[in-house]
Structure formats: C-alpha cells, structure tokens
Amino acid sequence: MDTSPSPKSQYLLFFRNSGPENYQGLSPEQRQRLVERWNAWFEGLVAQGKASEGQPLETETRVVSGPGGRRIVDGPFPEAKEAIGGYVRLEVAGLDEATEIARRHPGLEHGLVIEIRELTPHCHLGVRTRPAAGA
Amino acid sequence: MEGTGPSPEPAAREPAALVEHFFRHETGRLHGALVRLMGVQNLAVAEDVAQEAMLRALRAWAMGGVPANPSGWITRVAMNLARDTMRHRRMAFGKEPALITHFEQHLATPAVAWEGAREFRDDTLRLMFVCCHPSVARDAQVVLALKILCGFSAGEIARAFLASEAAIEKQLARTKQRIAESGIGFELPEGEDLAPRLDGVLATLYLLFNEGHTASSGDRLLREDLCGEAMRLADLLVAHPAGRSPRSHALLALLCLTAARFPARVDERGGLTTLADQDRSKWDRALFERGLVHLAEAAAGSDLSEYHLEAGIAACHALAADYASTDWARILQLYDELIRLKPSPVVGLNRVVALARARGAQTGLEALEDLQGRERLDDSHLYHAVRGQLLLEAGRPAESAESFRLAHRLARVDPEREHLARRLETASLAGESAEPLVPELSPGRRSSRRA
C-alpha cells in the first residue's frame, strides 16, 4: 500500500471551443478583463495547490493514423469547436471538486467547453515503478 | 499519459500584469506600425492584422499567462501575420510591386527598429495626421481616431455616443474608403504644410475631449475615457518635434486644467455641482500643475489661439481660492478676445456669465438680450439657466422661476435636470437667494453630436 498522505486525485481539464472567433465581438477592454479573470482563476488554484500546470496548445496540428503511421494529416480541422485549445492539471479531492472549479471558469460565458478527465493512477511508468499496483 | 511529464516551464512562471487599457492602446500602437509597413491605403488590412494579433494574445495569455514583454510579443505576432498577409495578397492579386518592395525592405530591418519607443511615437503621430486629414469630416475624424488611434471597438464608440453600432461601423467604413482613395501619405507634414495639418489634429483632439466631458449623453465612464485619450494623444503631440507648437501646448494646458476639475463635478449623491459650489479640495492639483507648465510653454512666441484664451480662463479658475475671489475681470477680458477670435452664441453666453460676475446681474441681463445669435440659444437649457440665475440675482424671482422651468424642460441629462429642479425650487420660494449659484459653463462646452 502507498503510505503517502491523503489520496488526492489528478484531473485534466481540457478546454474546447476556445478559438479566436469566440472573442471577436469583445471590445479591447473586455478582452483584457477576460485575460485577467482567466489568469486569476488559474493563479488562485496554483496558490491553493490545486493546479500544478496548464498551458495553451497551438492550433496547428498533425494527425497520424494507420498501420505504420502511413496516414498523416495536417490540421487545423474544420470542427474547430472540438479542438483542444489548452489544458490544466488539477490535484483535488474528487470529481465533484474538479467540477466546481471548472464551473467557476470565466471563459464559460464566451462559449468555452471544459471536459474533465481523471488521470488514472496506472500508467506505463507506474507499472514498472509500483510493484503493488497490479494485485 | 506519463506521470512525470516533461513540461519544462509551466507552473513556475511569474505572470506579468497588464497595464490599464493595454489591449486598447496596444491596438492603436500596432495600427501605426502596421500602416507604416503596409501603407495608408491598406489601413483596413492593418486593422484586421492587429485584430488577429490581439485575439491570439488573448487566447495565449488567458491560458498561458501574460509574457514578460507583452508589447514585444504582440508586435512579433503582428509582424509575422502582416508578412503572411502580404504574401498571400501578392499571390491572390498578382503583383503590387511597389507595395511589396516597400514592405520587404521594412521586414529586412531588425525587429528592434519597430519596437523602439521613438519609432512608435513617430508612427502614432503619423497616424494622427492621417486620421485628422482635412479630407475627412471633423465628426468622422473623431470616430476614426477613437477606432484607429485609441483602439476603441465600434460598440464602445456607439455606447459613448448613444449611436447604433451599425451606424458607427458604416461611418467608419466610409471614412476608411475615403482615406484609401484620397492617397494620403504616411509622412509627417513639413514646412508650410505642417501648421494647417497640425491645426486639424488639434481641432480633433479638442472635439474628442469635449465629447467626453459634455455629459449630453452616453456611458459616463466611457466618456471620461475619451477625455483621457485626448490628453494622451495631446501628450504624444507635444513630445514630438513636429507637433510641439505653442498652440499644441495651449491645447494640452486647456485639457489638463479642465480635467483637473472633474473629480469635483459630481457630489456624493451623484448630483451635478456647479463651479460655484464645487469642493475645490477635490480638484486635481497635479493636473493643474501640468496644465500651468504647458500654459507657460504655450506663451513662447506671439501666437495667440483660442486654446491659449480658453486655457487662460481655466487657469483663472484653477488659481482662485473660491468662486467669489475669482478674477472675473481677467476672465471677462479673455472672453472678449475669445469672442473676437471665435464668435459663437455659446462663447457669448459664457462671456455673459463672466460679465455678470464682474459687473453685476443687471449688466449681465442686458448683455444677454443683446447676445449675437441669441435666437439660436432658444432651445439651449444653458441659456435659460443662466437667465434664470441672473433674474434671481436681480430680484425678479417670478421671471427667474419661469426661466428655470424652461431650462428644466430642455435639459436632457438627469443630473442636470435635478440640478435645475433645485434651482427652480429656490426661485419659486421667491426668497432672495444671495448665493451665487451658476451652472458651470466651462469654455469647452459646445460641441454636440448626432451620430
């Protein structure tokens, strides 16, 4: 058994529908306020130890598929709404807390869609380093 | 995925804070830099590029934090976008050789060249001369300046002027079209051209400021921003050799001296206060100082413009300990000169107020009857308010009440209406009010826009 203190779970918040077109109608002042509120949201979480990292993703993309990676497609794709624009990694008590945090996001009123996914404790590094994991 | 992610930089960063109005002013700055690269005829393209750069900044900075040098970041992005746009246009529209050559030469120069403060200052000034070009109507200049130089959105401009956004958009499109067609260059005017072009810029800044401070309509906070913008641009103007004339200093002095009184314009309950009963301790002394410094600079040479005179009047108010000890004789003298230089019923009305303070209500009333163009003031609540006040002081309360009633009916802004309602009440009480309560008629108060 793991003896580390209180089991916090890790979640990734994926930001979708965060393309520039969502903010086109905002005035410069409104844009600036949004940047400030968005940063305050994130910095607040960092200060409480609830967020460990977060980053925007470039819109240019490349998708590899098929055996041997034969199919390579350059993006961006027409369904820009579905594209992941960035992510934040949370370390919180559970899905409910992660949901509450997501609900306070200032980008929501501008169409932002947030998907919450828990990081499982299993991963291929974990398999090697944690002998107790498998049972 | 992996538990010990390779992400090298996140979490540790120190997010930079954005200065107030950063996006707004940065948009204006980018327009200057981009128009220099793309030419005045591509003003609309430059706007699109700046807009796109701002949107990228918004997205990146919201999720990734504000970089240490936000202005440099955004300039880099805008320049890359500009290059892509111009390449695309070259492919799409065939050759625009002169433009492209011009553009590529600029791109070959090192990035510091357009990030330098001096370049920026020059570009903004050049753009100011473009926006205030005589081929564009004055009202349209103000709107264009707000959009291009100050980075206001069409929606914000519409709110400030109580116009519809569509109407503002339409006006802007027309103005830009006109500029593109008239072949205005991006050089600073020189020699004989300079003085008349500079006059155009000053007139537009003056109008911009007045739009902000005449509370005739619109969003009050936004309108105060207009005054701030006019002062910011006037500051840029006097900081530049091409714009640094005694007249420019006089205008900036006038703006500073007038804006210094803003903090006292409304009382705790949001009611309008007149110059007579303003709490002068609320006046912004630092702004007064700045205004007086510029007024001194304005005295170099023999030029005496309307701005000199109006600034002189504002300075008299600034220097007076209270309303009663104001140097009304000096103010009257300045108004006499002003009305010679710029005859208008509103200047005349202001002069009457000064006259009445210097020589008594009866003299003021007589002058009011003889006012040039008086019939044009019939619909002005200010005219009737002044008349009501002078009648009250002259001991004719019934007529005074009648004038205040008329003024109240004509006033459009709530605080002014409330103020006039109080005056009406005073007059109706028929008692002899010895208080010299006169609505503040600041010299700049005249423009009115119907957008």
Residue A15 vs residue B104, higher pLDDT: A15
Yes or no, beta carbons of B11 and A46 under 8 Å apart: yes
What confidence tens digit (pLDDT) does each residue in B240-273 have? 998 999 999 999 999 999 999 988 887 777 777 8
Answer whether A112 touches B (CB < 8 Å). no
Yes or no, beta carbons of A34 and B62 under 8 Å apart: yes
Q: How far apart are the first and last CA of chain B?
A: 58
Rounded CA separation B166/A115 (Å): 37
Give the number of domains in chain A: 1
Asked if residue A28 belongs to a domain, the reply is yes
What value, to the nearest 5°, has the Cα angle with vertex B443 and ends B242 and B155? 70
Asked if residue A123 belongs to a domain, the reply is no
Residue B113 vs residue A83, higher pLDDT: A83
Rounded CA separation A57/B236 (Å): 38
| DSSP E strand boundaries for B317-414 | none
Confidence (pLDDT) at B431:
55
Answer whether A111 touches B (CB < 8 Å). no
Asked if residue A86 belongs to a domain, the reply is yes
Rounded CA separation B370/B209 (Å): 30
Rounded CA separation B283/B263 (Å): 6
Answer whether B195 touches A (CB < 8 Å). no
Structure tokens at B326: 């104001």
Q: Average the pLDDT over A115-135 and give the result.
A: 67
Asked if residue A72 belongs to a domain, the reply is yes
Confidence (pLDDT) at B377:
86
Rounded CA separation A120/B419 (Å): 68
Kindly report the number of other CB atoms within 10 A of residue B98's CB atom. Answer: 9
What ipTM score was computed for the predicted complex, to two decimals? Answer: 0.82
pLDDT at A27 over 80: yes
* Mutation target among B9, B25, B63 for the A interface, most CBs of A within 10 A: B63
Answer whether B19 touches A (CB < 8 Å). no
Q: What is the pairing mode between strands A9-16 and A51-56?
A: unpaired
Residues 6+ apart with CB under 8 A from B18: A32, A35, A36, B66, B70
Asked if residue A7 belongs to a domain, the reply is no
Residues spanned by the domain of A50: 19-118
The answer to whether the beta carbons of residues B52 and B103 sit under 8 Å apart is no
The full set of domains in chain B, from first to last, is 17-106 (1.10.1740), 122-181+194-214+221-243 (no CATH), 245-326 (no CATH), 333-376 (no CATH), 378-432 (no CATH)
Task: Give the range among A26-30, A77-81, B330-334, B385-389 with minimum mean pLDDT.
Answer: A77-81
Asked if residue A4 belongs to a domain, the reply is no
Q: What is the dihedral of CA B349, B362, B391, B346, to 10 degrees?
A: 0
Yes or no, beta carbons of A85 and B156 under 8 Å apart: no
Confidence of residue A8 (pLDDT cuts 50, 70, 90): confident
Confidence of residue A18 (pLDDT cuts 50, 70, 90): confident
Yes or no, beta carbons of B18 and A35 under 8 Å apart: yes
Strand partners, A113: A16
Asked if residue A75 belongs to a domain, the reply is yes
Helix (H, G, I), strand (E, B) or coil at A12: strand
Sign of CA dihedral B410, B415, B416, B420: positive
The answer to whether the beta carbons of residues B324 and B436 sit under 8 Å apart is yes
pLDDT at A12 over 50: yes
Residues 6+ apart with CB under 8 A from B409: B381
Confidence (pLDDT) at A83:
86
Structure tokens at B242: 């091409």
Question: Which residues of chain B have a CB within 8 Å of the CB of A24?
Answer: 51, 55
Question: Which residues of chain B have a CB within 8 Å of the CB of A14?
Answer: none
A70: domain CATH number?
Answer: 3.30.70.1060
Question: Which residues of chain A have a CB within 8 Å of the CB of B26?
Answer: 28
Q: pLDDT tens track of chain B, all 451 residues? A: 333 434 444 444 555 788 989 999 999 999 999 999 888 988 999 999 999 999 999 999 999 899 999 999 999 999 999 988 888 877 666 555 555 555 665 555 544 444 556 677 789 899 999 999 988 998 899 999 999 999 999 988 888 887 899 999 999 999 999 998 888 889 889 888 899 899 999 999 998 998 888 755 566 777 788 899 999 999 999 999 989 999 999 999 999 999 999 888 877 777 778 888 899 999 999 999 999 999 999 999 899 999 999 999 999 999 999 998 999 999 999 999 999 998 888 899 999 999 999 999 999 999 999 988 888 888 888 999 999 999 999 999 999 999 999 999 988 777 788 889 988 998 888 554 444 444 444 444 334 433 3
* Mutation target among A31, A46, A59, A113 for the B interface, most CBs of B within 10 A: A31
Rounded CA separation B255/B443 (Å): 11
Asked if residue A125 belongs to a domain, the reply is no
